[in-house]
Structure 1
Amino acid sequence: MTLSALPATVPDLLRLLAVPVFAWAAVRDVRTRRVSSVVWIPLALLGAVTLVWDGWVAWNAGEFAWGAFLLPAAVSLGLVVPIAYLFWWFGGFGGADAKALMVLALLFPAFPSYAVAGREFPVATTPVDAFSFTILTNAVLVGLAIPIVLAVRNAAAGRIAPVMFVGWPIAWERATTTHGRLLQTPDGRTYGGLDLDALRMYLRWRGLTLADLRDEPDHYRNPATLPDDPNPPTDGRVDAGTILPDGGTTRHTDEREAELESESADGFDDSWGADAFLEDIEGSAYGTSPDELRAGLEVLVAEETVWISPGTPFLVPVFAGLLLALGYGDLLAGVFF
């Protein structure tokens, strides 16, 4: 039966169930930077079922069909999965990004085929026919376009700066409800400033708001103002809950009260209590150093507007790459072949 007579095979139709799940995961990743591993389990099972289904059909269809199935499946599982794992291992991908690509390698080893209104999709295929690799290359192209979009957006608003390709300015109030990384230090622009998740961890640990720090920066720079019984810092996510006031229980001894009265704002061994915070919590607060935390706090208590890198999670280009692959096919093949 030809494609024009049949909209798609049953496995290909089942694969479309992944599209709304990937849409939800991409939105979730943008809003919280957290996607539960549970999301990928049913998709991986679906991918395993459709892979075996297609393999069984190809085996029974003869040697030519089996070869046409085996090559893209081998590329998908033997190339895309290792690439995803290695990029995660070396820190190029987040865990959700790597798992998403691995799931896609199972779900879409070969190009699916859909007929809509007499037209066949995807339009542009490749000689190897490995669809998950096409999704990956499409995602990389989308990711490379993001800096261009940021630069155009900033240029249109008259914001010309060296970091205009990687970020945009926000009001200081949004720093505690936004994901990303500061692109400023007291000395100027930087490409690797304070992670805003680490900022939220610090504020929750101290039981303070950013507004509190801005109201009395000289006071809170003094490590003697640190709480005796800090709050759990959580993992820095935006939706981790409200900040408990005063770090749970803040009690100053006579000695610490004397420190508050006598030490100058610039004379502390541990300004802002950055060392104490990082020593007290489990983990490294996303690799934040004490100096990086202090620099970020100095910017946030002084500036009305700060530049941040939104740090768009790769799951967003992956979802866009999936949609482009289903609707058009391989972008590179469309350009070069």
Structure 2
Amino acid sequence: MVDVGPLSATIPDLLRLLTVPVFAYLAYTDIQTRRVDNLTWVPLTTLGVALLALEYQDAVAAGGREWRLFVITTTISVGFVVSMAYLFHFLGAFGGADARALMTMAVLYPTWPAITLAGTTFPVADPAPMRVFSFTILTNAVVWGIAYPGLLALRNTAMGHQSRRMFVGIPVRWDAIPTTHGKLLSDSDAGIGERLKGLLYPRQSGLDLDAVRMYLRWRGATLDELRADPEHYRDPASLPEETHDPTDGAVHLANEGASENADVATDGGVDEPESPEDAGPDEAAAADHAAVDDTVEDPWGAAAFMADIEGDAYGTSPERLRDGLDRLVTEEELWVTPGIPFLVPVFFGLLVAFAYGDILIGALRALGLI
């Protein structure tokens, strides 16, 4: 036990408490970029393993109930939560970074803490029956996630945007799309059945705006350019002979000035895009403003894009990409489901877990159900 003025805690609990600002920063970066470097989890997992080793020694020394409690909570945390994260990733419900975050939490926060500050012990609520702290963090995050559609509806109502999509999305002007995270909603996506499907299989729901940025970067064109002359860009003959690295569609990439993608703008264009006058003979002919027949093969070059890139562009199909591009070049305002940056509810769950404990268990106790 370490006493630091009014603060008293074991060394493992104190070090775990000090990781809370780290998750605050990770939640902030997740909001800004929807990206977290995989190397981020290495030091946190290493710290978790070291703290487990330290607690193992203390549990062996204490023996009896303390030893059994340590074995049970650690087994559930590391065994169950890590397995669940891997399974959800395998089924497509979690991305790789989300799964790694859960696995890291399972190792870093297995046991229930007890931190005394100015005479008050935190978490203030009684421990959850299983006393698996990582599970409590996850439960708190799920509670926040359940409340999210209601918060979204309140936000839309306050802004005067009332429709059946108000629980699942927000309206976004077309010129904000290149720096917006989320998925493009269609009328069918707003249905309850489709949204439930989207929760279970997120890669099968809506056009991911990261995929749109990948497409724009691949062909070296901006959304503004597509809207200025959609018939030209819809014609697959307008595709450049040399395409660009599509990247992973992250908003922040070009602003960071990555050398291998230094010519790629945030919204997909190149620093000095060719004009139709400067284009070669074939491109100049394709820049003609004549309307493209609806029966043209591979509108927008969507199939060519999918065949040329590595991976599946976040579950995008050529048909879904074409439909999204048709809407992006004609509509002034589009509904986008912003999704929940995974580390935001995780940070919320972590903060509440350290301060209060398990929200769900507390509610069930207040109702007299447990």
User: Would the TM-score normalized by the shorter structure come out above 0.5?
Assistant: yes
SS in 2 for 1:115: strand
Measured against aligned partners, the alpha-carbon deviations of 1:53-77 in whole angstroms (never above 9, x if no partner) come to 1111111112222112222112111
**Cα separation, partners in 2 of 1:254 and 1:101, compared to 1, 3 Å:** closer
- Give the TM-score normalised by structure 1: 0.92
Counterpart contact for 2:153–2:167, Cα < 8 Å: yes
Matches within 5 A, 1:143-154: 143-154=145-156
Q: Which residue of 2 aligns with 1:129?
A: 131
CA distance in 1, matches of 2:74, 2:174: 49
What is residue 307 of structure 1 aligned with on the other side?
335
- Looking at structure 2, the residues matched to 13 and 30 of structure 1 have their Cα atoms a distance apart, in angstroms, of 27
What letter corresponds to residue 278 of structure 1 in structure 2? M
1:104 corresponds in structure 2 to 105
Residue 5 of structure 1 deviates from its aligned partner by 8.4
Q: Structure 1 247/137 Cα, relative in aligned 2: closer, same or farther at 3 Å?
A: farther
Q: Distance in 1 between matches of 2:243 and 2:274?
A: 5
Cα drift, residue 304 of structure 1: 1.2
Q: Kindly report which structure 2 residues correspond to 1:44-83, keeping only aligned pairs within 5 A, or say none.
A: 44-83=45-84
Tell me the distance in 2 between the aligned counterparts of 1:230 and 1:2. Answer: 60
Q: Superposition pairs for residues 263-278 of structure 1, below 5 Å?
A: 264-278=292-306
Q: Unaligned stretches of 5+ in structure 1? A: none
Q: Which of the numbers 215, 226, 231 marks the counterpart of 1:202?
A: 215
Deviates more, 1:249-258 or 1:275-284: 249-258
Q: Give the corresponding residue for 1:18.
A: 19
Could you tell me how far 1:123 is from its partner in structure 2? 1.7
Per the alignment, residue 142 of structure 2 pairs with 140
Count matched residues.
336
Q: Give, in whole Å, the separation in 2 of the partners of 1:16 and 1:281.
A: 43
Match of 2:92 in 1: 91
> 1:122–1:247: structure 2 CA closer, same or farther, 3 Å change rule?
farther
Question: SS of the counterpart of 1:52?
Answer: helix
CA distance in 2 between counterparts of 1:144 and 1:247 reads: 48
Inter-partner Cα distance in structure 1 for 2:43 and 2:306: 38
Contact 1:224 1:259 in 2 (8 A): no
Cα distance in 1 for partners of 2:250, 2:65 equals 51
Residues in 1 aligned to 2:36 and 2:206: alpha-carbon distance in whole angstroms: 24
User: Within 5 Å, which residues of 2 pair with 1:7-46?
Assistant: 7-46=8-47
The CA RMSD over aligned residues, in Å, is 2.6
Q: Deviations over 1:84-134 (max 9, x none)?
A: 111111111122221111111111111111111211110221122111111
Q: CA deviation at 1:324?
A: 0.7
| Partner-residue secondary structure (3-state), 2:9 | coil
| Identity percentage of aligned residues | 51
CA 5–266 in structure 1, closer or farther in 2 if over 3 Å, else same: closer
Q: TM-score, normalised by structure 2?
A: 0.84
1:234-245 alignment runs, 5 A limit: 234-241=247-254, 242=265, 243-244=269-270, 245=272
Distance in 2 of aligned mates of 1:336 and 1:291: 47
Per-residue deviation, 1:17: 2.6
Going from structure 1 to structure 2, the CA distance change for 1:273 and 1:115 (only over 3 Å counts) comes to same
Distance 1:312 1:258, change over 3 A: closer
Stretch deviating more after TM superposition (22-31 or 226-235): 22-31
Distance of 1:308 and 1:261 partners within structure 2: 30
**1:314 corresponds to which letter in structure 2?**
F
Say if 1:218 and 1:265, in contact at 8 Å, map to a contact too.
Answer: no
Cα separation, 1, equivalents of 2:102 and 2:153: 28
Q: SS in structure 2 opposite 1:184?
A: coil
Cα distance in 2 for partners of 1:325, 1:248 equals 57
Q: Which residue number corresponds to residue 206 of structure 2?
A: 193
- Contact 1:55/1:69 (8 A) holds in 2: yes
- Larger mean CA deviation between 132-141 and 23-32 belongs to 23-32
TM-superposed CA distance for 1:229, in Å, is 0.7
Number of the residue aligned with 2:241:
228
CA-to-partner distance for each residue in 1:163-208, whole Å, 9 max, x for gaps? 21111011111111011110137x8967533211011111111111
Shift of the 247–90 alpha-carbon distance from structure 1 to 2, 3 Å rule, reads farther
Give 1:39 deviation, angstroms: 0.5
Amino acid at match of 2:171: P
- Cα distance in structure 2, aligned partners of 1:13 and 1:178: 38
- Report the CA distance shift for 1:224/1:6 in structure 2 as closer, same or farther (over 3 A): closer
Distance 2:305 2:183 in 1: 19
Q: CA deviation at 1:155?
A: 1.9
3-state secondary structure, aligned to 1:162:
coil
Assess, with a 3 A threshold, how the Cα gap between structure 1 residues 2 and 219 changes in structure 2: closer, same or farther: closer
| 1:184 alignment counterpart | 186
CA distance in 1, matches of 2:27, 2:163: 29
Amino acid at match of 1:176: P
1:247–1:91 distance in 2 versus 1, CA, 3 Å: farther
